[in-house]
């Protein structure tokens, strides 16, 4: 049996032969003439001259073997909805949506902005774009009008697709009204807006001549059949704007062939998802995880994919695990934040259901601290795999590869470089590789493997400047994350290079301090930020969520716990990492994708403006920080 090490080595040393083989996992309408064209570094073109189509590979290709198998299961605990679409039914829906788009003038290469809640029609729209060669750009439903307008102006779509509303924690969220607002701000509004009415906004305004009703148009295209557009492998499939950046949004552009191959390969080598099995990814279609592992990945693999509208604790903290039991989920993918939310509830919810079909739970998107990793592994009794990637890479960059070799897992580590990625840990100033046990910047020696971003939409120069100029004398892709590799070759991510803090000349990752704080048994999660300090340059400050609010009910109790947490940090990391203060809150300000808004916390702690808060999940969290700081 191939070991992971041999497998990875071959993917780098015999790059083209390796990927030529992996490319056989998908259908090519026309075979590629060259595996890789790297004549213009760092721009990599994969499977040059080959023609394929993501929608064909996700749907049409499976019709003979699994036409009657469930392809998409939609479950909403928000509106109490449930729908199942077989591959044949999903194929029909996507064909119809493609016909609808064409009737609205959408052509190959046109951009279509999808601003939709987690409903089946969003999946139809995405796959319909892929079918006709239109470039989708899904914008997460939580973005505010101005952010949406900025994305509209960058993508210049010919069509936008939305719904009247979504629902969050049982409260309606008005999508169409927000789209209207954004279109007033945008310089390049689309000609048409297609709206799926769910009955969540009785007063939804309609703009005559521009707004089109999904259901009315669908009725005109019943039974439509639209052929797949055969796209050259390097034509763009989609644009996805990266979250959390200030200024002009960056459109991560992806290709067709490389993406299809990377995903199909990862479904087998990393996620161990087999045709006929079920995958449940708890993300949102507005994020890269939703693109890769709610929509494309599982369908390319002939699996059933679950699309879930709701939160992990409603009606109770057992809701996801009941889904795993009822739908015999074999692959599950979620985020550490969700696990930390569950950690605040009775562990019985995780133990109540039969999870025997679940091969692995994969977690990604943010650092998975060791205590949380241990807690969820123990509570579920199933292997929990931390893996690390970015919107830019489109698929994992560091992970265990149970489909290649079952290597032991280390708590808090996303294991090893994924095949195809020539990962280097470089010293931040010398740019030289660091020794094992030393901290370095996680970089990738180009060419980037298939599946990764190919450029910034409309701005090649920005692609090079943003990602490839972190080190003066060498062309390497920077992830802007700190990492460390132990003697066994396991990687640990220590947080963003841009979140680093400097205490009395010592550089510290806030993530390291957070991990230490989280070691205290009374703490569910925390955020540590560096706050300007006259004496030491910066001082770490911790904002911690306690498991039991009674533990901080009085001033004495707070002081006692603060002292204990400091001692824990002293013990775990050394006094150098000890937070100057530990403040207690009941939740942290986060984006809807679960990223802690450290910069906003830091700004408040430094009495500055907290900045752009359009992606914040719950503004009340920031209020708590303000209160705590008083
Ligand atoms: P995004 O592109 O929004 O998904 O964010 C990517 C960033 O999230 C990475 O650069 C990391 O900082 C962080 N990240 C993602 N996965 C992990 C992980 N498994 N461990 C630590 N950090 C992660």
Which of 64-78, 179-193, 240-254, 396-410 is predicted with the least confidence, judged by mean pLDDT?
Answer: 240-254
pLDDT in tens, 261-290: 999 999 999 999 999 999 999 999 998 999
Q: Specify whether the CB–CB gap between 142 and 179 falls below 8 A.
A: no
**Protein residue with least CA distance to atom 6, ligand 1:** 390
Q: Which atom of ligand 1 is nearest to the CA of 391?
A: 2
CA of 391 to the centre of ligand 1 (A): 8
Contact by Cβ (8 Å): 596, 367? no
Provide the whole-model pTM: 0.85
Domains, the chain:
441-495 (no CATH), 500-629 (3.30.300.30)
pLDDT digits (tens, 9 = 90+) for 439-448: 999 999 999 9
Q: Which atom of ligand 1 is nearest to the CA of 495?
A: 12
Question: Considering only CA atoms, which residue is closest to atom 13 of ligand 1?
Answer: 366
Portion of the chain with pLDDT greater than 70, in percent = 97
The predicted pLDDT at position 248 comes to: 63
Q: Peptide bond preceding 178: is omega within 30 degrees of 0, i.e. cis?
A: no
What are the C-alpha distances in Å from 238 to residues 47, 104, 133, 536? 18, 19, 10, 46
Choosing from 390, 466, 592 the residue with most ligand 1 atoms within 8 A of its CB, the one to mutate for a pocket test is 390
List phi, psi (to 5°) of 75. -130, 125
Q: Could you tell me which residues are beta bridge partners of residue 398?
A: 388, 417
- Identify the band that residue 245 occupies on the pLDDT scale cut at 50, 70 and 90: very low
Indicate which atom in ligand 1 lies nearest the CA of residue 368.
Answer: 20
User: Does the pLDDT of residue 9 top 60, yes or no?
Assistant: yes
Task: Give Cα separations from 60 to 41, 55, 70, 90 (angstroms).
Answer: 35, 7, 14, 10
Predicted confidence (pLDDT) per residue in 122-139, tens digit: 999 999 999 999 999 999
For residue 378, CA distances in Å to 281, 340, 372, 384, 492 come to 21, 14, 10, 9, 21
Residues having CB closer than 6 A to ligand 1 are 243, 288, 364-368, 386-391, 414, 479, 481, 493, 496
- Cα–ligand 1 centroid distance for 616 (angstroms): 18
Report d(CA 28, CA 231) in Å as an integer.
Answer: 10
């Amino acid at each position: 049996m191939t070991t992971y090490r041999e497998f990875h080595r071959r993917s780098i040393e015999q790059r083209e032969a390796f990927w030529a083989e992996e490319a056989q996992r998908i259908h090519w309408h026309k075979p590629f003439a060259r595996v890789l064209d790297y004549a213009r570094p760092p721009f990599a073109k994969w499977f040059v001259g080959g023609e394929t189509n993501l929608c064909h590979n996700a749907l049409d290709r499976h019709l003979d073997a699994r036409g009657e198998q469930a392809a998409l299961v939609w479950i909403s605990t928000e509106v109490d909805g449930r729908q199942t679409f077989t591959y044949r039914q999903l194929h029909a829906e996507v064909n119809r949506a493609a016909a609808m788009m064409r009737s609205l003038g959408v052509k190959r290469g046109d951009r279509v902005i999808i601003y939709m809640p987690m409903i089946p029609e969003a999946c139809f729209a995405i796959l319909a774009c892929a079918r006709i060669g239109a470039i989708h750009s899904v914008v997460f439903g939580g973005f505010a009008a101005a952010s949406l307008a900025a994305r509209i102006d960058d993508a210049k779509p010919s069509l936008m697709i939305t719904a009247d509303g979504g629902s969050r924690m049982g409260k309606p969220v008005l999508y169409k009204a927000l789209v209207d607002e954004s279109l007033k701000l945008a310089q390049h509004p689309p000609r048409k807006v297609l709206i799926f009415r769910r009955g969540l906004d009785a007063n939804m305004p309609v703009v005559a001549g521009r707004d089109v009703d999904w259901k009315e148009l669908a009725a005109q295209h019943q039974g439509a059949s639209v052929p797949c557009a055969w796209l050259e492998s390097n034509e763009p499939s989609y644009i996805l704007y990266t979250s959390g950046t200030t200024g002009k949004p960056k459109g991560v552009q992806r290709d067709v062939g490389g993406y299809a191959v990377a995903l199909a390969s990862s479904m087998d080598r990393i996620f161990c998802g087999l045709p006929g099995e079920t995958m449940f990814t708890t993300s949102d279609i507005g994020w890269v995880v939703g693109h890769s592992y709610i929509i494309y990945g599982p369908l390319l693999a002939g699996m059933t994919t679950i699309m879930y509208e709701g939160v992990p604790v409603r009606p109770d903290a057992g809701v996801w695990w009941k889904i795993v039991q009822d739908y015999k989920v074999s692959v599950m993918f979620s985020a550490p934040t969700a696990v930390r939310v569950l950690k605040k509830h009775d562990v019985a919810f995780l133990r109540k259901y039969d999870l025997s079909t679940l091969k692995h739970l994969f977690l990604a998107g943010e650092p998975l601290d060791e205590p949380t990793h241990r807690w969820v592994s123990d509570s579920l009794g199933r292997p929990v795999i931390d893996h690390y990637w970015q919107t830019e890479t489109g698929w994992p960059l560091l992970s265990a590869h149970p489909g290649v070799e079952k290597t032991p897992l280390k708590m808090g580590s996303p294991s090893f470089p994924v095949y195809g990625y020539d990962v280097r840990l470089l010293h931040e100033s010398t740019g030289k590789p660091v020794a094992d046990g030393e901290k370095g910047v996680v970089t990738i020696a180009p060419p980037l493997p298939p599946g990764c971003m190919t450029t910034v939409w409309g701005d090649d120069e920005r692609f090079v400047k943003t990602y490839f100029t972190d080190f003066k004398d060498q062309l390497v892709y920077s992830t802007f994350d700190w990492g460390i590799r132990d003697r066994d070759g396991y990687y640990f991510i220590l947080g963003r290079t841009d979140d680093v803090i400097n205490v009395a000349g010592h550089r510290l990752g806030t993530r390291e301090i957070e991990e230490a704080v989280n070691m205290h048994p009374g703490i569910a999660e925390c955020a540590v930020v560096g706050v300007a300090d006259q004496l030491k340059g910066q001082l770490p400050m911790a904002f911690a969520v306690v498991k039991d609010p009674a533990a901080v009910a009085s001033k004495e109790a707070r002081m006692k716990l603060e002292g204990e947490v400091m001692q824990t940090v002293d013990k775990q990391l050394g006094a150098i990492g000890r937070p100057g203060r530990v403040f207690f809150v009941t939740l942290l300000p986060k984006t809807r994708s679960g990223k802690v808004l450290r910069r906003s916390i830091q700004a408040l702690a430094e009495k500055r403006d907290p900045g752009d808060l359009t992606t914040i999940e719950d503004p009340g969290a920031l209020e708590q920080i303000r209160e705590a700081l008083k």
